Structure 1
Amino acid sequence: MIKLFRSKIYIALTLMVLVLFLGVLGYRFLSDFSWLDAFYMTVITVTTVGFSEVKPLSIEAKIFTVFLIISSVFIFAFAISVITEYILGRNSLQLLKKKKVKNKINSLVNHVIVCGYGRNGAQAGERLNAYKRPFVVIERNKEVIEKHEADILFVEGDANDDEVLKEAGIERAQYLIAAMPDDAANLFVVLSARQLNKNLFIISRASLITSQKKLELAGANKVIMPDKIGGDHMASLVVMPDLITFMDKLSVEGVHTTNLEEVAIEDFADQVECNSLRDLNLRQKTGCTIIGYIEPNGNYIINPEADLQLQPKSKVIVLGRPEQIEKLNEVFHIRQ
């Protein structure tokens, strides 16, 4: 539609230039005006401003002027209508696009809200896409939004604004990631989000060690320091490079694939009798291996025994190749 409008604008501009060109030639040769006088006469004629002629016109020049006025009125009217249609149509498309995004956001439940789509926010978005977790990004930079709006749900505005958080569905969200580069901005977002949703799990980015405690007091469940993690990671590559590279492979197998999965015991309980890890028999059914167990109180057990008794509201950490994880989700009908 935009391309159609643009082609009409090009036609209108071409006709306007053509009528000016013909007007200048007509006055130049019919009335023997100078080029400047011919241009002047053409402008005052097509714009119908009513100024007097440079000098009296011949009968031929008067007839030419009548046709010039009539043709210019229609051409300029056409140009104005095209430009108006283009502007209104563009605004209408933007409104329709925003309404469509708003409807999609309003339909989300237990989704993730990412505040800020810089380096850390974009990385979080990539991993959420890999795990097929629905998320909404709050971003105030229009250039960033226009660059990625085809693939991501954006809410334009300041994440510190309660109305913007509500527009992103803060009351229905399950997680919030405060990924802005400024610790103070993240602190205000955490405070606002915690007031709007008491059950929200909040993860915040921090640059300074002194900000970590403040963010936790404000209501953040987890505080991540990317700079500290990066330094630890580089040092670990010196001490045990192969192990760290292997761990990187586990976490960044691909943008659209995963090889680690966290599964609630309730996802298995309705389909198999699972009193212990051995009863699940995931290795034989899917090829996946259970490498961790999370107790209801949050205690982690690494490499649990096969006879470990399962408890309600507990979880297992499963390792497998992407195709094995996909088979796990299919076999046990696990909603991603």
Structure 2
Amino acid sequence: MTSNKNVLFFVYFISLFIVGSFGFYLIGGREWSLVDSIYMTVITLSTVGFTEVHPLGDTGRIWAMIIIIFGVIGVGILFSSLRDAFMHLNTFRRIKMMKKINKLQGHFIILGYGRMGEVIAKELSQKGQTFVVVEKDDRKAEKIIENGMYCIHGDATLDETLVAARVDNAGGIAVVLDTDQDNLFVTMSIRTMNSDTFLLSRCIQEHNKSKLLRSGADKVVNPYIAGGHRMAEMLLRPQIEDSVTLSTPTNASIDLNIDEISLNKLDRYDGIMIKDSRLREDYGLMIIGIIKEKGDNMISPDPHTVLNISDTILIMGSKKSLDNFKETLPII
């Protein structure tokens, strides 16, 4: 069908060019050469606006207007066909992508492509994970597809959208929609479709956290509270570089956290071996890694390793143990 259209457009413009040139040649009389007629047709169709080769009478001007009108009609049809071809290509791309999504097993799903959803997608992409993003905004959905990611363009609160994303086969789902109401509703919907998948949900209002947990979320994250606590800690005690809370199943009671602590200004650990640091004895903490000043990393260092004031240590323990240790850090 597309090939036939291309042939028709080619025949249309060639015919218009030949008829237009022949018309100018007949109307112009002896003053007009064949080259003059062809040139006049070209500048008329292209709407360049150069002056007439020879003065045109009323008949010549009418003929020029006819050529312009048919030329504009042809260009309009051409652009319309190009638009249809582009839409057809997009439709083909989406159908092809949906076939791939239907075959996914154990993939991740991100519901919502706001600031948090975009960060999650970037992290999963960097780690080589397979995931599907669900987004209802046209521009965002187009951006996701252009970036080479699987995308379902639709409303995540609708069951058919969740089905299209293969919620039933997902290994993990992040619900990061704009409102707590939507997150709560979608969390409940997902649990009716897949009772086993790991479900992570965001809440904006802290009082909605318990509701999300009761509705089926395995973990609930409030980025504002978590970020605020973290920034306050780092503001008071710059030695705290970063921290990680290890996720565990909801039926497990393991409380493990990892903090990244700079030994800068902690003179009591300068030149001390790990076994003599008393972190285990006094705080119940374990040094699981050391980041040296030049960027070299030591994983599971030997107890006889000597600490240096320029080091950054990775310590692991319960939240309470880490909090007790951080209370001993100097406040600026």
One-letter amino acid matched to 2:111:
C
| Equivalent in the alignment of 2:262 | none
Q: Percent identity?
A: 26
Aligned counterparts, 1:57-68, within 5 A? 61-62=58-59, 64=60, 67-68=63-64
| 1:18 pairs with 2:47 | yes
Gaps of 5+ in 1: 32-60, 252-259, 263-293, 304-317, 325-336
**Equivalent of residue 169 in structure 1, options 163, 166, 188:** 166
CA contact (8 A) 1:142 1:156 kept: yes
**Alpha-carbon deviation of 1:178?**
0.8
Note if 1:231 corresponds to 2:221: no
Give the Å deviation of 1:161: 0.5
The Cα offsets for residues 10-66 of structure 1, whole Å up to 9 and x where unpaired, read as x999855639x58x9699x544xxxxxxxxxxxxxxxxxxxxxxxxxxxxx44x367
The equivalent of 1:327 in structure 2 is none
SS at match of 2:188: helix
Judging changes above 3 Å, is the alpha-carbon distance between structure 1 residues 67 and 232 closer, same or farther for their aligned structure 2 residues?
same
Q: Against the structure 1 CA distance between its residues 26 and 228, is the aligned structure 2 distance closer, same or farther, given a 3 Å change threshold?
A: same
**TM-score calculated relative to the size of structure 2:** 0.57
Who is 1:119 aligned against? 115
| 2:179 is aligned with 1:182 | yes
Cα drift, residue 77 of structure 1: 4.8
Residue number among 188, 195, 198 corresponding to 1:198 in the alignment: 195
The equivalent of 2:106 in structure 1 is: 110
Name the SS of the counterpart of 1:92 in structure 2: helix
- Cα deviation, residue 86, structure 1: 0.9
Equivalent residue letter for 2:182: A
Q: Deviations over 1:147-193 (max 9, x none)?
A: 33222221111110101111111111121111123100101110111
Do 1:203 and 1:221's aligned partners in 2 also have CA atoms closer than 8 Å? Answer: yes
Which residues in structure 2 correspond to 1:88-167 (within 5 Å)? 88-151=84-147, 152-167=149-164
Task: Determine the C-alpha separation between the residues in 1 that align with 2:107 and 2:80.
Answer: 40
Mark the runs of 5 or more structure 2 residues left unpaired by the alignment. Answer: 1-5, 17-41, 258-287, 298-332
Larger RCO: Structure 1 or Structure 2 (Cα < 8 Å, ≥ 6 residues apart)?
1
Deviation of 1:73 after TM superposition, in Å, equals 6.4
Secondary structure of the equivalent of 2:235?
helix
TM-score (norm 1): 0.56
The answer to whether the Cα contact below 8 Å between 1:116 and 1:137 also exists between their aligned partners in 2 is yes
Deviation at 1:302, TM superposition (A): 5.9
Q: Distance in 2 between matches of 1:14 and 1:148?
A: 44
Distance 2:290 2:152 in 1: 35
Is structure 2 residue 217 aligned with structure 1 residue 298? no
Distance 1:238 1:117, change over 3 A: same
Q: 1:228 to 1:66 in 2, by over 3 A?
A: closer
Q: Match of 1:287?
A: none
For residue 133 of structure 2, give the secondary structure of its aligned residue in structure 1: strand
Post-superposition Cα deviations, 1:286-306, rounded to whole Å, max 9, x if no partner, equal xxxxxxxx7997353869xxx
Query: Does structure 2 conserve the Cα–Cα contact (< 8 Å) formed by 1:181 and 1:205?
Result: no
Q: Please tell me the root mean square deviation across aligned C-alpha atoms, in Å.
A: 4.0
Q: Which residue of 2 aligns with 1:219?
A: 216
Q: Answer whether contact 1:111 1:175 (CA < 8 A) is retained.
A: yes
Q: 1:125 to 1:92 in 2, by over 3 A?
A: same
